[in-house]
Structures are given as structure tokens and as C-alpha cells.
Amino acid sequence: MDSIRSAFARQGLVRTSDGLLGGVCSGVGRRFGIKPGLSRVIFVVLLMVLPGSQLLVYPLLWFLMPDEESIAIAAPGTPRGDAGA
């Protein structure tokens, strides 16, 4: 499980503490360089186009994506996204 979370962290997929519900959309938005609100809108649009799949993907990402506090605690002094490398 830690190897999956460290792989997500290396890719920049980290949940943020400023998110509305778990910080998943905010973290994905930051990873792809878009605003969190736009990331949420894209998620809702995809939910309408492909109903059900996002309801499985969001909780899975919430579980697998590390939060930014755990990255900072696990690797103090390393730049964000390089933890576990």
C-alpha cells in the first residue's frame, strides 16, 4: 500500500487539505495545473456522461492518494512530490 501511495506522491497526485470532500479533486487539479473548481466541474460532467464509474473511482482515489500532511511528515526537508523517491 505504501508503494502505491509513494508512486502517487512521485506523480504529484496528493490530496490537499483545502479540499471540500477529501481533497481528491483539488489534488488532481493541482497535478494537472487546473483550478480545483474546474476539476470538480469536470468530475461532475464525467459523472453525467459515465454514470457510476466515478462513484467507485473517487473513494478509491481518496484511499490511495496520500495527503500532503503525511508527505511532509514522512519526508521532512524534501520538496513536495519527491517523498518516497
Q: Is the pTM of this model over 0.85?
A: no
- Residue of 1, 20, 16 whose CA lies nearest to 71: 16
- The CA-to-CA distance between both ends of the chain, in Å, stands at 15
Q: Please state, in angstroms and rounded to a whole number, the distance separating the CA atoms of residues 42 and 17.
A: 20
Domain ranges of the chain: 2-74
Q: Note the pLDDT tens digit of each residue in 32-83.
A: 899 988 988 998 888 888 877 777 888 888 888 888 777 766 555 555 444 4
Name residue, grid cell 483545502.
18
Burial class (CB in 10 A: 0-12, 13-18, 19+), 28: buried
Residue 84's pLDDT band (boundaries 50, 70, 90)?
A: very low
